[in-house]
C-alpha cells in the first residue's frame, strides 16, 4: 500500500463510491475552506494503484506554540472494518501531519454507532462498537467537540412521496395541508443576492434561542462553492392570495347557509357555519393588518439544504416566531422531502438533535417536530482525537487548568 496526496479527480472518484460519503468530505468543501484561508489536504491510500482510503483534512485554526490542530471533518472515508487499511491510513496521516507542525488530529467518522428507532431505542441492525474499540487501540480518545453526533433521519429509499406522507403523524399531515389549502403559502428558491433575507431569518431565530449564527459570508461561500448541490428555500405568505382565499371560503359558507332549510336538523349545521364565517372575517381583518404593517408578501421561514450523494441534509434554518401559526417550516420540509423522493434520493437527514430524549430535553420541541415526519434517530460513532506530539499533553493539561478556574 502507498500513502500520499490525491488529485481532485482521484479523491472525488473514490469518495463517491463509498457509503461514508458526505458533503464535508468533498472538493466543494475544500474550496469553501480555502476561501477562508484554511489549510486543506486531500490524502489517501492506494493499493495496487487503486484508491482504498481518502480524507479531506483541514487545520482548525487552533494552535499551541506553533503547532496546529487538524480535523478530518466526518472522515476518514474508508471501510472501517478493514483494520489493515485503517491502521495504515492513520499511521501515515499522523506522520504526514507531524511534518506539517501538527499538534493533534480529530476525526468523527460518518458511520452510525448502533441502529436506533424513532424513540432512540437500540434495535437490531448496525453495531460498530468494534470500530470504536480499534480506534482506541490506535491511540485515539474521545473528543468533546462541536461536530454533530445525533441526527434524525428519514429513510425514503424506494418510497413514493405519497407513501411517506401517509406515514407522517396526523398532526404533521394536518399542518402541511393547512399550508396548501388554507394559507396558500408559496416557496421560492433564493438567489445569491437574496441571501441577506435568509440571514435575517436565521439571525432572528438564533437570537431567540441563544445560538450562534453563521455569517452572511459563510452562506454566500456555500452558495458559490456547492452550486447545484446546495439550495436556499424561503416560505412566504402572499397576503392578497390569503385574503382572497378567506373571502371565497366565506362566500361558499354563506351560500350553504342560505341553501339549508330552517329545519331543526339543520340548526346546528348553520350555527357551525356561521361561527366559521365570523372566524374567517376576523382572520381577514388580521391579514389586512399584517399586509398594512409588513407588505404584500411576508417571509415566514427559510432553510438551507445540501443535496449530495444519496441524501439531502437539512443544514440550517430559521422562522419568525410571530408567524409560526402559518406552519411555514412544515411546508419547507414537505416540499424538500417530496423532491427527494421524486428524484431518487435514499435518505433525508434532518441533521442535529439533542441526545436527551425524555420530556425534559432542552430541544424536545425540535425533536418532536422532526419525529412527526416518521424516521429514526441516528447516533454517529463519535468524535475522537489523537496526539501528534508530546506538546499536546502540555496543551491538554493547560486546558484542564483553565476549565477548573472557569468554574
pLDDT tens digits for range 296-326: 999 999 999 999 999 999 999 999 999 999 9
Contact partners, residue 48, CB within 8 Å, separation at least 6 = none
Proportion of the chain above pLDDT 70, given as a percent: 99
**Start-to-end Cα distance in the chain:** 49
pLDDT at 224: 98
Q: Dihedral, CA atoms, 234, 216, 363, 373, nearest 10 degrees?
A: 30
For the segment 90-139, what is each residue's pLDDT rounded down to a tens digit?
Answer: 999 999 999 999 999 999 999 999 999 999 999 999 999 999 999 999 99
Longest dimension (CA), the chain: 91
305 closest CA partner among 266, 344, 334 = 334
The size of the chain, in residues, is 407
389, 102 Cβ separation under 8 angstroms = yes
Domains with residue ranges and CATH for the chain: 2-145+382-406 (3.40.630.30), 155-240+296-379 (3.40.630.30)
CA distance 173 to 300: 19
Average pLDDT over residues 380-385: 97
SS3 183: coil
Amino acid at each position: 500500500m502507498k500513502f500520499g496526496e490525491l488529485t481532485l479527480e482521484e479523491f472525488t472518484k473514490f469518495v463517491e463510491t463509498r457509503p461514508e460519503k458526505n458533503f464535508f468530505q468533498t472538493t466543494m468543501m475544500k474550496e469553501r475552506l480555502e476561501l477562508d484561508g484554511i489549510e486543506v489536504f486531500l490524502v489517501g491510500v492506494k493499493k495496487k494503484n487503486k484508491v482504498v482510503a481518502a480524507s479531506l483534512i483541514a487545520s482548525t485554526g487552533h494552535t499551541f506554540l506553533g503547532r496546529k490542530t487538524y480535523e478530518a471533518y466526518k472522515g476518514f472515508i474508508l471501510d472501517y472494518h478493514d483494520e489493515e487499511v485503517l491502521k495504515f491510513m492513520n499511521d501515515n496521516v499522523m506522520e504526514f501531519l507531524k511534518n506539517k507542525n501538527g499538534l493533534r488530529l480529530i476525526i468523527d467518522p460518518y458511520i452510525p454507532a448502533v441502529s436506533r428507532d424513532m424513540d432512540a431505542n437500540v434495535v437490531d441492525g448496525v453495531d460498530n462498537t468494534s470500530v470504536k474499540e480499534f480506534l482506541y487501540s490506535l491511540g485515539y480518545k474521545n473528543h468533546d467537540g462541536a461536530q454533530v453526533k445525533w441526527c434524525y433521519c428519514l429513510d425514503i429509499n424506494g418510497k413514493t412521496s405519497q407513501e411517506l406522507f401517509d406515514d407522517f403523524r396526523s398532526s404533521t399531515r394536518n399542518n402541511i395541508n393547512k399550508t396548501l389549502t388554507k394559507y396558500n403559502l408559496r416557496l421560492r428558491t433564493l438567489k445569491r443576492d437574496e441571501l441577506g433575507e435568509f440571514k435575517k431569518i436565521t439571525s432572528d431565530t438564533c437570537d431567540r434561542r441563544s445560538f450562534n449564527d453563521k455569517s452572511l459570508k459563510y452562506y454566500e461561500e456555500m452558495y458559490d462553492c456547492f452550486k447545484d448541490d446546495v439550495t436556499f428555500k424561503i416560505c412566504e405568505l402572499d397576503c392578497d392570495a390569503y385574503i382572497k382565499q378567506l373571502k371565497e371560503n366565506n362566500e361558499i359558507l354563506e351560500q350553504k347557509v342560505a341553501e339549508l332549510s330552517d329545519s331543526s336538523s339543520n340548526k346546528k349545521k348553520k350555527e357551525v357555519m356561521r361561527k366559521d364565517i365570523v372566524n374567517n372575517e376576523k382572520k381577514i381583518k388580521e391579514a389586512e393588518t399584517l399586509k398594512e404593517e409588513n407588505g404584500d408578501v411576508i417571509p415566514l421561514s427559510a432553510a438551507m439544504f445540501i443535496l449530495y450523494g444519496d441524501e439531502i441534509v437539512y443544514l440550517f434554518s430559521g422562522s419568525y416566531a410571530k408567524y409560526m401559526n402559518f406552519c411555514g417550516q412544515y411546508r419547507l420540509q414537505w416540499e424538500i422531502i417530496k423532491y427527494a423522493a421524486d428524484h431518487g434520493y435514499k435518505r433525508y437527514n434532518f441533521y442535529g438533535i439533542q441526545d436527551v430524549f425524555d420530556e425534559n430535553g432542552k430541544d424536545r420541541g425540535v425533536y418532536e417536530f422532526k419525529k412527526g415526519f416518521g424516521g429514526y434517530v441516528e447516533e454517529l460513532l463519535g468524535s475522537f482525537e489523537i496526539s501528534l506530539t508530546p506538546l499536546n499533553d502540555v496543551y491538554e493539561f493547560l486546558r484542564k487548568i483553565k476549565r477548573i478556574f472557569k468554574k
